[in-house]
Amino acid sequence: MSKNINVALIGNPNTGKSSVFNHLTGLNQKTGNYPGITVEKRQGMCRLPRGVKARILDLPGTYSLNASSVDENVVVELMLNKNDKDFPDVAVLVSDVENLKRNLLLFTQIKDLNIPTILVINMSDRMRRKGISIDTYKMEQLLHTKVALVSARKNEGIDVLKEHIATYKTLSTTPCLSIDQIDQDYFGSLKNIFPKQSLYKLWLVITQDVNFAKVARKKMEAEDASHIRSASFLKRLQQKETIKRYQFINSVLKECYIKDFRKATDLRGRLDRILTHKVWGFVIFFLVLLTIFQALFDWSSIPMDFIDVTFAQFSDWAKTALPSWLAPNLIAEGIIPGLGGIIIFVPQIAMLFLFISILEETGYMSRVVFIMDRVMRRFGLSGKSVVPLISGTACAIPAIMATRNIENWKERLVTILVTPFTTCSARLPVYLILISLIIPDERILGANLQGLVLMIFYMLGFAMALLAAFVLHKIIPQNQKSYFVVEMPNYRIPLLKNVVLTIIEKTKSFVLEAGKVIMAISILLWVLASNGPRETFKNAANEVAKTTSIDNANYERQLNAYKLEHSYLGIIGKGIEPLIRPLGYDWKIGIAIVSSFAAREVFVGTLATIYNVGEDEEETIKKRMAAETLSDGSPVFTLASGLSLMVFYAFAMQCMSTLAIVRKETNSWRWPTIQLIVMTLVAYVGALVTFQYFSI
């Protein structure tokens, strides 16, 4: 009869924990969030020897059980709560062969909780090159555990690890450190008050700031308050504990760990001097980003165009082939475009995470974070915020998903909230057609004026993102101290398996989670555009036939434009016209603004439909837009109104897809709602000031 056991995979960041997890679980894994927080939860199943089946839980990277971040809180809270369904039967501590001393601090803490603990020493394939030798038998004796030398890169030692996990009941739970050695008087009194409790667990409950620990402290205080000490006293004891643990670790490593520097050959130092240089480091990073986003635009355009055309053809087929009882218009104009609006982002998301995964796997991302931290911190951001902000020029959706590697919740939240200010590729069609309408095709000092204006709007988006981050940093309270700790891993060749699994995991997360909201809003927009409350909407064909012959080639476009004007969406456009008139817009632009919330590039297509032109006739669209006039006969698109409209799109929330992913990443509707309201107000005021200034 097979047994199911819980296995917790624990370790410092950049020890290869995710690689070990991938080898144990393969594709048999799933991702979610811990209840109430946005820290990612990965779990998977693994078959072990002797018919044992293990549920592997990949815990967030942590340096110790002295929690200082949301990630570390998750680990501490689980390790202290035996009633949690994820509480491990056995813990697997993944360490790095070159940083074993630091990694063992966490190992000794986990083991002192009386949890069977296995030590995995990863990257063992580097031992010879680094001049390292380890007496694993001696180490097992000194640490009272089982040690597995593993190379996740070469898939070596995984079978040994599985055997150790399957026989976890034979592991010793002897603690590495007797906690009462730190202060016998204090811990003696603590043991007298709570004789049935584990002394080290009590110590963690007293010193940690995790949710259930707070509850536990209240119960402890209700029983007896004589153990309560000042924060400074507890901090001193924590420092003594750390010193004691490192004394124990040093004694162990002295017996069984040898590193002969004379046998090591190190290229890392020379590369670091270039990649983290205060000048060349930025130049190289800029070139890397330039290469990535050029590839993003070039490579993703082919599959995105294919997806776009395929769904358009599928929609046309559905209109004619599906029976009436299946509501073909709803499927063809609501559900299929909504599904297409989800799938079309997949190439960009997959490619962006391909590059991000490669940069992380090679170890270069840590160097980028290091050189950018000083610049970004002036605006209340982390060095890790630079990747989402710049990747937002491709699409805000994968950019916001990329904020997950920012440990500090406030810095991550601020990055999520300001990323939509950066100009995404969907805004490009709006900018291009408006710039071609209002900016002359001239050259200044050899540079194209229209190109300069486009660059200015890209820079405007970045500037507003940094300004907004600075303001939010001052407004949002700091719920935890921000420490800049970045691991500088060795340079390594990316593991193909890790890269592929990362792409699949992130893409699947977007399609299944954000896709639900996108689909729902797409259908809602279709319903609003396809129905109207008045007789004029119902009799649209008769009304259009009075001015345009049914045989006329423009009849269908005239009919669609008429229906749109008198639909609920058209009524909304006319309803907001008094609000947008001070910005220089009419109700038609209002409809385009509302409908483009589905996707920014919809703006041009909506106006093309309203102005009765084909979407592929770009010059005709421009001429028709240039000829459009207000009720007083003045042109709609002037320098003032055109710049105002571009400023509005530069600052307004990008699209419903972005809103959906913000909701998913923050695990709440509160922040996306605030984001939508504030960005809309900023966009409105910016557009108003722009229009009024240039109208003078």
Query: Residue by residue, what is the 3-state secondary structure of 288-353?
Result: HHHHHHHHHHHHHHHHHHHHHHHHHHHHHHHHHHCCHHHCHHHHHHHHHHHHHHHHCCHHHHHHHH
Structurally, at CATH architecture level, domain 3-170 sits in 3-Layer(aba) Sandwich (3.40)
- For the stretch 243-258, pLDDT in tens is 999 999 999 998 998 8
Residue pair 539/354 in contact by the 8 Å Cβ criterion: no
Task: Please state, in angstroms and rounded to a whole number, the distance separating the CA atoms of residues 475 and 469.
Answer: 10
Predicted TM-score (pTM) of this structure: 0.55
Beta-carbon contacts of 416 under 8 Å, excluding residues fewer than 6 positions away, are 388, 400, 403, 662, 665, 666, 671
- For the stretch 37-85, pLDDT in tens is 445 678 889 988 888 899 999 988 888 888 766 667 788 888 988 888 8
Percent of all residues in the chain with a pLDDT value above 90, rounded to a whole number = 16
Please tell me the predicted confidence (pLDDT) of residue 63.
86
Please tell me the predicted confidence (pLDDT) of residue 218.
47
Give the pairing type, strands 447-448 and 443-444. Answer: antiparallel
- For the stretch 116-136, pLDDT in tens is 999 999 988 878 777 788 999
> Exposure of 73 by Cβ count < 10 A (0-12 exposed, 13-18 middle, 19+ buried)?
buried
695, pLDDT greater than 50: yes
Percent of all residues in the chain with a pLDDT value above 70, rounded to a whole number = 79
Please tell me the predicted confidence (pLDDT) of residue 287.
80
Residue pair 464/421 in contact by the 8 Å Cβ criterion: yes
Q: Which amino acid is at 393?
A: T
Among 225-234, 239-248, 393-402, the range scoring the smallest mean pLDDT is 225-234
222, pLDDT greater than 50: no
**Closest listed residue to residue 353, CA positions, set 649, 28, 31:** 31
**Residue 551 DSSP code:** T
Hey, what are 253's tokens?
Answer: 């490593």
- For the stretch 426-473, pLDDT in tens is 676 677 778 878 888 777 776 677 777 777 887 888 889 889 989 988
Q: Which amino acid is at 597?
A: F
265, pLDDT greater than 60: no
Residues linked to residue 156 through DSSP beta bridges, in sequence order: 151
554, pLDDT greater than 80: no
618, pLDDT greater than 50: no
Among 489-493, 500-504, 585-589, the range scoring the smallest mean pLDDT is 489-493
Beta-carbon contacts of 92 under 8 Å, excluding residues fewer than 6 positions away, are 7, 8, 9, 10, 20, 117, 118, 120, 161, 165
Among 2-11, 210-219, 614-623, the range scoring the smallest mean pLDDT is 210-219
Residue pair 387/367 in contact by the 8 Å Cβ criterion: no
Residue pair 508/539 in contact by the 8 Å Cβ criterion: no
**Residue 113 DSSP code:** T
- For the stretch 33-49, pLDDT in tens is 444 444 567 888 998 88
Average pLDDT of the chain?
78
> Within 10 A of 489 (CB to CB), how many other CB atoms are there?
23
Residue pair 361/390 in contact by the 8 Å Cβ criterion: no
**Closest listed residue to residue 121, CA positions, set 136, 142, 137:** 136
Please tell me the predicted confidence (pLDDT) of residue 297.
55
> Exposure of 221 by Cβ count < 10 A (0-12 exposed, 13-18 middle, 19+ buried)?
exposed
Element spanning 444, H or E: strand 443-444
User: Per-residue confidence at 517, pLDDT binned at 50, 70, 90?
Assistant: low
DSSP 256-294: HEEE-GGG----HHHHHHHHT-TTHHHHHHHHHHHHHHH
**Closest listed residue to residue 97, CA positions, set 70, 62, 129, 68:** 129
546, pLDDT greater than 80: no
The beta strands (E) that lie in 113-197 are given as 117-122, 132-134, 146-149
Please tell me the predicted confidence (pLDDT) of residue 226.
52
Beta-carbon contacts of 512 under 8 Å, excluding residues fewer than 6 positions away, are none
Residue recorded with tokens 């290229």: 267
Residue recorded with tokens 């048999």: 28
Please tell me the predicted confidence (pLDDT) of residue 502.
77
Please tell me the predicted confidence (pLDDT) of residue 17.
87
Please tell me the predicted confidence (pLDDT) of residue 657.
78
Which of 401 and 255 is assigned the larger pLDDT?
A: 255
Which of 359 and 632 is assigned the larger pLDDT?
A: 359
Mean pLDDT value across residues 685-696 = 90
Hey, what are 400's tokens?
Answer: 């916001």
Task: Please state, in angstroms and rounded to a whole number, the distance separating the CA atoms of residues 410 and 232.
Answer: 26
**Residue 635 DSSP code:** B
Beta-carbon contacts of 348 under 8 Å, excluding residues fewer than 6 positions away, are 296, 300, 304, 394, 395, 397, 398, 425
Among 49-63, 159-173, 237-251, 551-565, the range scoring the smallest mean pLDDT is 551-565
213, pLDDT greater than 60: no
Backbone angles phi, psi at 677, to 5 degrees: -65, -50
Element spanning 172, H or E: none
Mean pLDDT value across residues 644-668 = 85
Residue recorded with tokens 């407004």: 475
Please tell me the predicted confidence (pLDDT) of residue 109.
93
Element spanning 45, H or E: strand 40-47
Residue pair 173/115 in contact by the 8 Å Cβ criterion: yes
**Residue burial 192-215, b: 16+ Cβ < 10 Å; e: rest:** eebeeebbbbbbbbbbbebebbee
Mean pLDDT value across residues 570-595 = 83
Residues linked to residue 10 through DSSP beta bridges, in sequence order: 93
Per domain, the residue ranges of the chain are: 3-170, 280-496, 499-694
113, pLDDT greater than 80: yes
Pairs from 333-339 (Cβ < 8 Å, separation ≥ 24): 333/526, 333/530, 334/522, 334/523, 334/525, 334/526, 334/527, 334/530, 335/519, 335/522, 335/523, 336/311, 337/311, 337/522, 337/526, 338/518, 338/519, 338/521, 338/522, 338/523, 338/526, 339/311, 339/519
> Exposure of 441 by Cβ count < 10 A (0-12 exposed, 13-18 middle, 19+ buried)?
exposed
Residue recorded with tokens 């590369």: 271
